[in-house]
Amino acid sequence: MKLFGRRNLILFLVLLAVAIGLYVRRRIESSVISVKVARATGGDFVQTFRTNGVVEPVEFREVRAQFSGRVIAVLVREGDRVRAGQSLARLDSGDVRAEFAQARAQLLEAEQALAKIQNGSARNQLEAQIAQAKADLALAESNRRRDETLLKQRAISQLEFDESSAAYEKASQRLAALEKERATQLQHLDPLSEEEAKARVQQARVLSENARERLKATEAPAPLAGTVLVAPPRAGTLVSVGDLLAKVGDLDRLQVRAFIDQPDFSSIQPGSHVQITSNGFPGDIWQGTVTLLSAQLTALGKRVVGEALCSIKAGRDRLPVNSNVDLTFTSRELHGVLLVPVDAVLQRENRNYVYVVEGGMLHLREVQIGSSNADFVVVKSGLEANQMVLNDLEVQPREGMRVVPRS
């Protein structure tokens, strides 16, 4: 009996040990969690940001009213191609034409005055006429005195004396008229030096040219060859100085005016790469580069932005002018750096950590990180290439947790 009881006891203990082992094994196996992991890899890092912008011609000009008036006729429509100088509209020009005529008259008068100063022949001719008139007057006076003596002596008739008196009056009046003409010339011309007369001519020419340009502006000429982007206001519209009459641009060369938020503005520079997309052309991508950055930031609604002009390389389709587009800028490029997914990095008390998977267990490790984008973080130290890290947001990790890696 004792022997039988001892064997049963041994067998029982063995079976109990096996059962306990199986139980413990099952508990251990049930505590191992399948987790998503990633490996730290070396590669190139690209940091980007997105913003919006508006398509516009590289070269465009606005035509604005140079005077107040009424639009008489509109000669083009939006979208028309025009040549440089082509008339876009006609404005009421009555006052401008009168101004031009007055300016031309002033120029002619100034040129005549200069010519008289530069050419003394007219003055010399007048002096010769005055000298001759004085001689004629002296002769007439001598004849009148002689005839007066003869009349007293009854040697001539009263009629003959009256004729000599009339000749004297006529000679006297002619001399007086010539001397008055000379006085007029001295009053208007003598005070002017030749340099002053030239200056007046130059001033009159400037006024005349300005009046000519204002007269030309009544036709609203196109400032360059291109396409009418904004057509003139309809006929009958009253415009004031500075009002927009039309806009003309060259649609063969386009650019994007982008609005970049202050934190991102300092990360780009002329030459930075940009990708351009439009909701109107799904799937199409245009490449471009930054050509110019604004010198200061401005308020755009609730945003503080800087402006960037971006070139557009030719694509399959041409972007419409004034259309809104989305831009993706490359703000930073790093080569040969260590990268881990963004979700693999944890922040605790302003420090950064990853869970490294080693020997089927999780181990918390502090790391120093650098730049990041929507997908990856640059790891500066604390991790080596090809090490496996936890990359599973659905898991609540802890030090020493047993895991089964999966990609």
pLDDT (mean) for 266-288: 89
Least confident piece of the model among 102-116, 145-159, 197-211, 321-335: 102-116
pLDDT bracket for residue 246 (50, 70, 90): very high
pLDDT at residue 107 is higher than 80 = no
* pLDDT confidence of residue 157: 85
Alpha helical stretches, state H, 69-225: 94-118, 121-152, 158-188, 194-217
Collect contacts of 361-369 with beta carbons under 8 A, ≥24 apart: 361/400, 361/401, 361/402, 361/403, 362/390, 362/397, 362/398, 362/399, 362/400, 362/401, 362/403, 363/399, 363/400, 364/397, 364/399, 369/345
Per-domain residue ranges of the chain = 33-48+335-406, 51-58+250-331, 60-92+218-249, 101-212
* pLDDT confidence of residue 7: 72
Question: Are the beta carbons of 222 and 63 closer than 8 angstroms?
Answer: yes
The CATH number of the structural domain formed by 60-92+218-249 is: 2.40.50.100
Say which residues have a Cβ less than 8 Å from residue 242's Cβ, sequence separation at least 6: 64, 65
The string of pLDDT tens digits covering residues 5-43 is 677 777 777 777 777 766 656 555 557 889 999 999 999
pLDDT (mean) for 309-333: 86
* pLDDT confidence of residue 82: 92
Query: What is the tally of helices (H) and strands (E) in the chain?
Result: 6, 21
Burial class (CB in 10 A: 0-12, 13-18, 19+), 36: middle
Describe the chain by its helix, strand, coil percentages, rounded to 5.
35, 35, 30
* pLDDT confidence of residue 244: 92
Question: Are the beta carbons of 72 and 91 closer than 8 angstroms?
Answer: yes
Q: Is 242 helix (H, G, I), strand (E, B) or coil?
A: coil
* Higher-pLDDT residue of 361, 1: 361
The string of pLDDT tens digits covering residues 43-79 is 999 888 899 999 999 998 999 988 888 888 899 999 8
pLDDT (mean) for 242-264: 90
pLDDT at residue 95 is higher than 80 = no
* pLDDT confidence of residue 171: 86
Specify the pTM.
Answer: 0.51
The CATH number of the structural domain formed by 33-48+335-406 is: 2.40.420.20
Burial class (CB in 10 A: 0-12, 13-18, 19+), 394: exposed
* pLDDT confidence of residue 119: 61
Domain 51-58+250-331 has CATH 2.40.30.170: yes
**Dist. CA 15–CA 10, nearest whole Å:** 9
* pLDDT confidence of residue 5: 65
* pLDDT confidence of residue 115: 74
Tokens 């041994």, located at residue: 10
pLDDT at residue 323 is higher than 60 = yes
pLDDT at residue 362 is higher than 80 = yes
* pLDDT confidence of residue 1: 45
pLDDT at residue 351 is higher than 60 = yes
- Smallest CA-to-CA distance from 383 within 402, 404, 399, 369 is with 369
* pLDDT confidence of residue 123: 67
* pLDDT confidence of residue 201: 75
Question: Are the beta carbons of 307 and 257 closer than 8 angstroms?
Answer: yes
Distances (CA, A) of 345 to 62, 70, 359, 370: 54, 69, 20, 12
pLDDT bracket for residue 344 (50, 70, 90): very high
Least confident piece of the model among 53-62, 78-87, 158-167, 332-341: 158-167
